[in-house]
Structure 1
Amino acid sequence: MWFFFAVAAAICFGIRGILYQWTSQRPIDRNLLLLGVYISGTLIALVSNVIAQQPWSNGAWYGVLMGLFSFIANASMYRGYAVGKASIIALFSGLPPLVVVVVAYILWGEVLSAWQLTAFFIVLLGLILIKYSQDLKLNQLKGVQWGILTMLFFGFSDVSIKQSTIAGASTLPALIIMYVTGTVLFGISWVISYTRSHGKDSTVQEKDQHVEASNKTTLQNTPPSWTIKRTLGWGMIVGISNIVGMIFLFSAFRHGITGIVSAISAMSVALVILYAHFYLKENLSKREITGLIVTVVGILVLRLTS
């Protein structure tokens, strides 16, 4: 059953990725968007647990690590896209399952069978083919440190979920703590960035009143940024897909093999690729098509050997 939970998580995260892609084309504050995602998760998890009455235990405190690792991974990915090549960051963002397999072996002695290991690397190869860009050159590795941090901390986030299930944590209490932690961290980040940006705007206006007039035509052609209320509200809508995916992921990690579950959930990128092809009318390269086929083959092998 854990296999189907992992696939369901991948579908939810794929929907989240599609919503993120759509949002990325709008003038929106990403920190505020993610704050809305985590507020939504907090509220949904709280209300759900009032109904479900899942017990609290010390294992739920691993949610702090989950929220912290998720925050660092998202912040690193955002910073990487800002200063480095997108292809480098995208490549590393598809590699957390590799980290998870290594850490799971070190911490819990989880060993994959020969068939499972083969299937795992088939899936990983498919993800790399989908993420890899032909313009990626070894001499153009600016931002690689942020890509490595993205890979590590998304992997650590998955490991902390598994550890919380081993410690006996119920799903909803752990998620409540995770989302509260993320809400606090993204809230602080947004306040800092908001204060800085408005401070800069005030300084510019005081220095030169004529700049605004000279750029009036340009500003008129630039779409206005989303309001705080609209951005936060949209983030809360996106957050629904995120927490549903996390609930499925918890169930998958509770009963499944850590590295395999992580690899299957990373398949969410395939859904985003298909969305871009069929809805946005973007052409798929031969490399992306090959990656999709290889990944599906890997998933089928995993299903047959699990």
Structure 2
Amino acid sequence: MSTIASAVRVRSGRALLYATLFLLLLAFLAPLLWALSGSFKPRGDIFGYPPKLIPDPLTFDNYRHLVDQQPFWRWFLMSTGVAAIATVVSVSVCALAGYGFAKFRFAGKRLLFGVMFSSLSIPFAVILVPLFVILVKTGLGSPWFALIVPWAAPAFGIFMMQQYIVQSVPDSVLEAARIDGASEFGIFWRIVLPLLRPSLGALALWTFLQSYNSFLWPLVLVSDSSQYTLPLGLQTLFVSENRQYDLVMAGAVLAVVPAVALFVLLRKQLLEGLSTGAVKG
């Protein structure tokens, strides 16, 4: 009887867990599904009652008007271009800095790492205005440069790389490479970087999304409408007199495409990172 009761409790627990996860999944997907549905509806039907998830009639006019009547592709290219450059810079800088903190000894290392780690507790809104003033005063306020600065060397990325290198890169391997005459940069390029692929994939995805979805920093920095990023461009549609919800929803659906594509591209690295963490944890 105890075995049967135990099996029933296990199955009940699993059923409750699956039901909870399913409800959470619906909660996370509901806004995206509603945006997807609204992007195919006429503006007057978006807030119709009773609400309908399946558009009737279904129309592609929202996408056509967004592309033909608004500079959507300019916003899109600005956001993806800035995010792509920021991702490459961030991954490169964080990997090098993390490697330095993890495997080298130098004066002030603990103090420098402590200051860097403490900066994680500072909200970006606190340094937003000083950073903007510094960039403008130094003549570095060009959007293509300034939009990348906050993501060039994030403390989170450096800490993440440092922790991963400490756990995944043995000192014995590095010492053997040095004995064989490899240079420090050669060791980093040929030995360390291949071992960092899972963490680099996760950091690349995080950095891309942070830069791509950034709204507050471009809002402060960019004044020329020809240099708007995608969040700023869609915001202009929302605050217009007509509040073009139909175009905003169509734009939001198209804006998801790069993030999903990057996730699919890096899924192998992400899964490897999760499995590595499970083994080591």
TM category, shorter:
under 0.3
Greater radius of gyration (CA): 2
Q: How does the TM-score come out when normalised to structure 1?
A: 0.24
